Chain A
């Protein structure tokens, strides 16, 4: 137990740069760490606030139907889905291929303790995500129902248990995908394909659940039953929170037993899996022909190879363009008439809104926001090359654009075919998300230059949890969300909003590029 605490304590000291803040001697680094903490707190408050508003409104609707506790079940499902989606690619990294594996294994600590510490690390990280969903939901429920201290206590206990099963599922799936991938010559390619397929499947599942959730007002309890059938722990969570002892025991057992079994298996196979997942290819390959490329092309190829070498980097950033393409294809086959009728929006009113949704999806996929950090300790090898900083920036931006712009062009064409917009709207369908993709790419690059992290132990730390990535993703959501709401509500003329948004993107991009060429280049040299 003591050794488990030592391992957890060392990991905890690395969280959010708190230890650097305490012991660092460089004032600039300290200022940066404080800034990072403040920004992280701000983002957390914004997210928590948004979740609370959402749950509060839903709880009100459910309370009117006499089933306010449904909000707790929905929060349990949402928290589980978020955990599975965000953890399954990173889980094998955290569990089996962490950088200090050799050193930790050389210490006199039982393997089961090491395995448990890695799983708890994963759990504690997800507890934050789960908390961001469960706490606002519980508060929203509490405001609509008469609850006491026992409810709060039960909710705390349930919230602590709730990440266990989703983490077990995510870790088992992630490990399976990594293991299957390692059996192929193109290990990363197979891992990326399988991971993307699973992420998209999980997202499709969550989107499919949306009409169920929205339909509660009409069919209430019946549809709640179907939600609970899909994830029985959601029912147990809701009932246990309200004081049902037997479901509390069921929820506890269903959370702890699979987790304990996986922990035992992880401990049993930790070293063999580490060996398999970190093994380089043993097959001899020909060196291949010598190829000559221009400096720009060579830098771009370097970015592409770096990108494809990381499963987590690809799965985290390719989802947006893939979703965009999937949405474009789906629009060709769905019955738009009945959907728009249900939404109370005529088909022609959809076209002005689609560019913002597309922009948001592309904003989720900003490769540049972690591209500087991903250089890791090899950043010096990049800096000593006889190339300008702007050439490096251009290469990083090119990768982002190569990923987003073709997908956007194809999706815009599909949207145009499906929605048959007016010419000016069709132009905006192409131009608006493309301009936003350029802006988001430049903003991500700047943010990563401002807040780089080179001493990561796993790529997850910068690709999924890095502050620049976080700000880019949620900033994009906000930046594209405001004009979407304005267009949707009709508060301002849709065309005016669109041209203003386009102008902002273009002007912002020009300013950012100019700044990157000056201040950004100096900052890059000082990294």
Chain B
């Protein structure tokens, strides 16, 4: 569903943020992307979702090149950045409707999905209010509902659990598993190693722009905890 093929990104000024990254996220995967601050996680994610151009390597979504068929790639992808910039002057419902409009979600499906996800994230009473009046967690939940409203085949999340209360975190994990059971794929970055260890069937660890480990969670961590493996790889 998502494949990085020798992807590299060098910023103006010469900083090589990602160096020959290759990894593949298949349908049904919950793929955790782990690395220290500045390791290149967000660069890789922004390139995959089309927010950052690149010249070296290739990124494919559903077999299509994000460079050659960007709109088709985006049409099956949902992306939630670590700090979603929602429009504070819109109501939660207006924002979700905007996203649903752009993705062409039919009214009946829209209503059913919004009702379901709003209930799951306990947002039914709040969607009529202005986003500017929401807490960080409520904004995160609104972004999640908007992401899920168009039933994406690929969900890309940058630090999705930051700001969510324990119940919402639990709900999100359940939804992620449900989406993957339905054949979607999820690729997300996180610093919470315990979550990655328990939730992900595959994990990649990136250090200074280079992939240092990737594969099935069990294979990557072996008999150790993910934290031990991560610290060992990062300190090496």
| A interface residues (Cβ-Cβ under 8 A, vs B) | 2-3, 6, 9-10, 13-14, 17, 19-20, 23-26, 99-103, 105-111, 182, 271-272, 275-276, 279, 281-283, 455, 457
Contacts and interface: CB of A to CB of B under 8 A. Distances in A.
21 contacts: A10-B98, A14-B89, A23-B128, A23-B129, A24-B130, A99-B85, A102-B49, A103-B85, A105-B49, A105-B50, A106-B50, A107-B99, A108-B71, A108-B72, A111-B70, A271-B51, A272-B53, A275-B11, A282-B13, A282-B15, A455-B89
B121 interface: no
B133 interface: yes
A25 B71 contact: no
A110 B50 CA distance: 11
A208 B87 CA distance: 43
A100 B88 CA distance: 11
- The 9 residue pairs across chains A and B that have the minimum distance between CB atoms: A455-B88, A108-B75, A106-B79, A108-B74, A282-B15, A282-B13, A271-B53, A106-B49, A102-B51
Nearest to A102: B51
Nearest to B72: A108
Interface of B: 11-15, 46, 49-53, 70-72, 74-75, 77-79, 81, 84-85, 87-91, 94, 98-99, 101-103, 128-130, 132-133
Contacts of A103: 79, 81, 84-85
B90 A10 contact: yes
A281 B11 CA distance: 10
Nearest to A14: B89
A374 B103 CA distance: 34
Given A105-B51, A455-B88, 9 more contacts: A3-B102, A6-B101, A10-B90, A14-B90, A19-B89, A106-B50, A106-B77, A182-B12, A272-B53
Contacts of A10: 87, 90, 98
Contacts of A105: 49-51
Contacts of A275: 11-12, 52-53
A interface: dominant SS: helix
Contacts of B132: 20, 455
Nearest to B92: A23
A106 B102 CA distance: 11
B51 A100 contact: no
Nearest to A5: B101
A10 B99 CA distance: 10
Contacts of A283: 13
Contacts of A2: 101
- Of listed A13, A100, A105, A276, residue having the most chain B CB within 10 A: A105
A464 B98 CA distance: 28
B81 A102 contact: yes
A26 B81 CA distance: 29
Nearest to B97: A6
B155 to A, nearest CB: 11
B89 A109 contact: no
A116 to B, nearest CB: 15
A28 to B, nearest CB: 13
B11 A14 contact: no
Nearest to A110: B71
Contacts of A272: 53
Contacts of A281: 13
B52 A271 contact: yes
B101 A279 contact: no
A8 B50 CA distance: 21
A19 B94 contact: yes
Nearest to B98: A10
Nearest to A270: B53
A281 B15 CA distance: 9
B51 A108 contact: no
A32 B88 CA distance: 17
A13 B49 contact: no
Contacts of B87: 10, 13-14, 100
Nearest to B16: A282
B11 A279 contact: yes
A23 B102 contact: no
B74 A106 contact: yes
A3 B98 CA distance: 10
